[in-house]
Amino acid sequence: MLAQSCFPGVVPDYGIWLMPKVDIWSRLTPQSQAAVEKSRELYAAFKAQSADALTVAREGYNHERAYWNSFKVELPSVEDMAIDTPTGKLPLRLYRAQADKALPVLVYVHGGGYILGNLDTHDRICRLLAVKSGWAVLAVDYALSPEKQFPVQPDQVFAVLQHVAANGSGMGLDSSRIAIGGDSAGAHLSLAATLDARIAGAPRVCAQLLYYGGFGLKDSASMRLYGWADLDGLDEKDTTTYRDHYIADPADRDHPRANLLKSDMAGLPPTFIGAVAYDPLRDDSVVLAEFMKERGVAHRLVLYEGVLHGFMHYSAMEPKAMQAIEDGAKFLRELPVG
């Protein structure tokens, strides 16, 4: 079933105006269209066992992501572990494409609107990044909202950076070369942790990989043009739900750790920014890149056409997803040592 355009008008049941959207279905690559159809098929086959809407959303997301992660990428070493943080035990997963040397490490923070996702839902992405970069990848299973809310998640991600800096050598890692990255909500939390590290004066973050993140814009051209509930799960209702689950107090929405675009980007490490042309969050990446340019931060902005927000999951079907992962891995490989 193709996406149907939303037209402006009063909806009798709710009495609200719907924002018109650009119909992007025909602009997607055939591979992305096929991935969307497969995703819809997987969700249609999912049988909910709970009456709780959030539980159903999480179980459905896990069910759909399990298919894309079934295309395994073998590694010599994948290890589950956990660290203590002020908010409790925090599960991690360490991926290593080489088991016999101290590797630089990418701390990877998954997406899912702060309410979805775990170590398993982003397993293939992490494996591919490890293989293609030659770096270790340390995935973070931060606490989900609304059970835990802002600032628990940025606190936890920053705690992982601190732990790796202090204990990386015992984990077989080069703790002098720590990068951070993530997709969507994970990109937001990654940038927040880098800004936290700058304020604290440590640890040193050597690079960032930020894929299609939301960084603080409240309105933009891309938000008005794009975002479909049945394509990328990012229509206005969806994004409001994610925001309200993550940040309970409206006064916190402009906190510098929540609205990251309020921060001065000076002094941040080299940054890869992967944006999606038809993503409502596209302009967050564009603005971030402009701020980095203004402050002299080395960065690379890549705009991926013909795909949707979240497309990195579809690397078994969509070549542009594999390209995005390779682009980020290449960015890490080409970083100067020291």
Give yes or no for a contact between 104 and 236, defined as CB atoms under 8 angstroms apart. no
Active-site residue identified among 123, 183, 279, 283: 279
Catalytic status, residue 249: no
Active-site residue identified among 122, 245, 309, 313: 309
Give yes or no for a contact between 2 and 26, defined as CB atoms under 8 angstroms apart. no
Q: Is 272 exposed, middle or buried (0-12, 13-18, 19+ CB in 10 A)?
A: buried
Instruction: Indicate the SS3 state at residue 25.
Output: helix
Give yes or no for a contact between 72 and 124, defined as CB atoms under 8 angstroms apart. yes
Q: Which two tokens stand for residue 126?
A: 């992490």
Which residue do the tokens 């890869």 mark?
A: 272
Rounded CA-CA distance 195/267 in Å is: 10
Catalytic status, residue 299: no
Of the candidates 145, 130, 21, the one whose C-alpha atom is nearest the C-alpha of residue 78 is: 130
Catalytic status, residue 52: no
Rounded CA-CA distance 108/313 in Å is: 14
What does R_g of the chain's alpha carbons equal in angstroms?
19
Residues catalogued as catalytic: 184, 279, 309
